[in-house]
């Protein structure tokens, strides 16, 4: 399927012209019906909620409609995803009947469609998907069926995450018109976004390359994010909707934050593919000190319990002690089964290509996010750049992946060095994402820990 509705032709004089690709618009009845439904949904949102939107937000809504149609035409599974999310989100919103207290009394809201319920379902489904992917890696008889179940569970988790996000958006307005905002403003909300965005990009590559073995690796980073999210919910009551600080009351947030997290999600995906590449490469290694990727995974997985442990006489809280134990089992399982895992992974060329495309997409959106952030900073603080810790680390992330892509495109960087570099990039990105909030202060200190 062509991604762009135009073809390039070269004339006899060397000039290049663009011609409309008429076949691009030769769509099935269902695809045109999908387009009509998207437009109808956009019109409904405008009529229903225009009082809560300024002129810029109305422009964003107008631009979102053709973008949604294009994405749905580009990758058909998104059509079903959008329609299901829209249907259940509207069901949840209508069930509230403008009364937030109904979230505790109405069955469907309490257990499925309130934002917190949907996000908890998302969490459980991501954990289950991770488990099924890994069982599929080691299974001999019904591996394809198990991996198919895992893939469907990821789709279900993404669906629940998006339903939870949409309903949470509405819930914030039920608390008050001055409180209502798109749920991308704090660590809790952006961790939900990180989980579903990373998963969606993985599902796309899974379909493009017709392989599900990578899901076992990519879902590890998603599950780690879910683990943090659950701790953050219990320990800090982070699910509570809070009013925005003045600097965040801007339409720029609706563009800057999602673009930023497309970058974070795809960088994380590339790192886990790089990890799979290194495991496949060292599958036959017998000397423990040469299996560096595996030990690095152990350090990363054990990072969360060490950093976020609850101060007490015994050291770790029960939650992080259990997390630590599960992490140790994962590392041990990969160590013992590395040959079987390597046999299930795609060829090195496929792994390398997924790594490259993930970083390329992430870099493009991270660049856009950085530019948008500078424009937002000029409006909010009077300057495009202030060397705030978050801005500085965003620049470090950008330079890291700019160098990776330069070496790839100009010098033909491939293989082990590229994989190690992509894996190290996850550490840099993670510090920019959450480490700055933990250890540094500045103008971006909205998601404190």
Domain ranges across the chain: 75-439
Q: What is the pLDDT of residue 313?
A: 42
Polymer length of the chain: 449
Name which of 222-231, 288-297, 405-414 the model is least confident about: 288-297
Is the pLDDT reported for residue 174 higher than 90?
A: yes
Torsion of CA 329, 335, 340, 343, to 10 degrees: 120
What residues pair up with 273 in beta bridges, in sequence order?
none
220 touches 421 (CB < 8 A): no
Residue 6 phi/psi, 5° resolution? -150, 155
Distance (Å, rounded) from C-alpha 371 to C-alpha 166?
Answer: 27
The mean predicted confidence, pLDDT, of the chain is 87
Long-range contact pairs involving 182-187 (C-beta distance under 8 Å, separation at least 24): 182/253, 182/254, 183/115, 183/241, 184/253, 184/254, 184/257, 184/258, 184/261, 185/244, 185/248, 185/253, 185/257, 185/446, 186/238, 186/242, 186/446, 186/447, 187/232, 187/238, 187/434, 187/437, 187/447, 187/449
* pLDDT digit string, tens, across residues 311-363: 444 445 676 677 777 777 887 788 788 889 999 999 999 999 999 999 999 99
Distance (Å, rounded) from C-alpha 218 to C-alpha 86?
Answer: 27
271 touches 426 (CB < 8 A): yes
* pLDDT digit string, tens, across residues 98-153: 999 999 999 999 999 999 999 999 999 999 999 999 999 988 878 889 999 999 99
Q: What is the pLDDT of residue 295?
A: 65
Q: What is the pLDDT of residue 76?
A: 95
Using a pLDDT cut of 70, give the percent of the chain over it. 84
pLDDT band, very low/low/confident/very high, at 380 (cuts 50, 70, 90): confident
Q: What is the pLDDT of residue 286?
A: 61
Is the pLDDT reported for residue 308 higher than 70?
A: no
Q: Tell me how many degrees the CA angle 39-40-41 measures, rounded to the nearest 5.
A: 90
pTM above 0.85, yes or no: yes
pLDDT band, very low/low/confident/very high, at 377 (cuts 50, 70, 90): confident
Of 446 and 54, more confident: 54
pLDDT band, very low/low/confident/very high, at 248 (cuts 50, 70, 90): confident
Residue 446 phi/psi, 5° resolution? -100, -30
3-state secondary structure of 4: coil
Q: What is the pLDDT of residue 291?
A: 66
pLDDT band, very low/low/confident/very high, at 449 (cuts 50, 70, 90): low
Of 308 and 252, more confident: 252
Q: How many helices (H) and strands (E) does the chain have?
A: 17, 2
Name which of 84-98, 141-155, 283-297 the model is least confident about: 283-297
Of 269 and 5, more confident: 269
Distance (Å, rounded) from C-alpha 432 to C-alpha 188?
Answer: 16
Residue 10 phi/psi, 5° resolution? -110, 125
Residues 6+ apart with CB under 8 A from 139: 146
Distance (Å, rounded) from C-alpha 126 to C-alpha 448?
Answer: 25
């Amino acid at each position: 399927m062509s991604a762009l509705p135009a073809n390039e032709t070269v004339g006899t004089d060397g000039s290049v012209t663009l011609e409309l690709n008429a076949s691009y618009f030769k769509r099935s009845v269902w695809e045109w019906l999908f387009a009509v439904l998207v437009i109808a949904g956009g019109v409904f949102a405008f009529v229903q909620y225009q009082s809560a939107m300024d002129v810029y937000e109305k422009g964003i809504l107008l631009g979102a409609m053709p973008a949604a149609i294009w994405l749905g035409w580009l990758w058909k599974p998104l059509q079903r995803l959008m329609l299901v999310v829209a249907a259940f989100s509207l069901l949840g919103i209508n069930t509230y009947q403008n009364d937030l207290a109904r979230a505790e009394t109405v069955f469907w809201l309490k257990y499925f469609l309130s934002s917190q319920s949907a996000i908890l379902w998302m969490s459980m489904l991501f954990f289950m998907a991770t488990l099924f992917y890994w069982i599929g890696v080691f299974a001999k008889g019904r591996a394809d069926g198990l991996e198919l179940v895992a893939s469907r569970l990821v789709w279900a988790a993404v669906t629940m995450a998006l339903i939870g996000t949409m309903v949470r958006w509405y819930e914030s307005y039920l608390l008050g018109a001055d409180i209502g905002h798109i749920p991308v403003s704090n660590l809790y909300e952006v961790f939900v976004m990180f989980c579903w965005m990373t998963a969606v990009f993985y599902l796309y590559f899974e379909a493009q390359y017709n392989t599900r073995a990578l899901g076992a690796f990519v879902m590890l980073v998603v599950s780690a994010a879910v683990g943090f999210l659950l701790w953050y919910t219990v320990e800090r009551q982070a699910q509570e909707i809070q009013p925005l600080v003045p600097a965040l009351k801007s339409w720029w947030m609706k563009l800057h934050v999602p673009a930023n997290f497309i970058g974070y999600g795809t960088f994380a995906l590339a790192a886990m593919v790089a990890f799979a590449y290194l495991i496949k490469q060292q599958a036959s290694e017998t000397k423990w000190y040469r299996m560096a990727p595996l030990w690095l995974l152990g350090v990363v997985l054990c990072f969360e319990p060490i950093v976020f442990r609850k101060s007490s006489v015994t050291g770790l809280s029960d939650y992080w002690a259990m997390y630590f134990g599960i992490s140790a089992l994962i590392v041990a399982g990969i160590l013992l089964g590395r040959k079987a895992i390597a046999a299930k992974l795609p060829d090195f060329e496929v792994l390398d290509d997924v790594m490259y495309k993930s970083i390329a997409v992430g870099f493009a959106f991270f660049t856009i996010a950085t530019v948008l952030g500078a424009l937002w900073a000029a409006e909010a603080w009077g300057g495009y750049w202030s060397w705030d810790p978050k801005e500085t680390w965003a620049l470090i992330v950008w330079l890291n992946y700019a160098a990776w892509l330069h070496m790839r495109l100009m010098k033909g960087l491939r293989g082990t060095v590229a994989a190690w570099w992509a894996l190290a990039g996850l550490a840099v990105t993670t510090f920019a994402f959450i480490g700055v909030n933990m250890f540094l202060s500045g103008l971006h200190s909205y998601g404190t820990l």
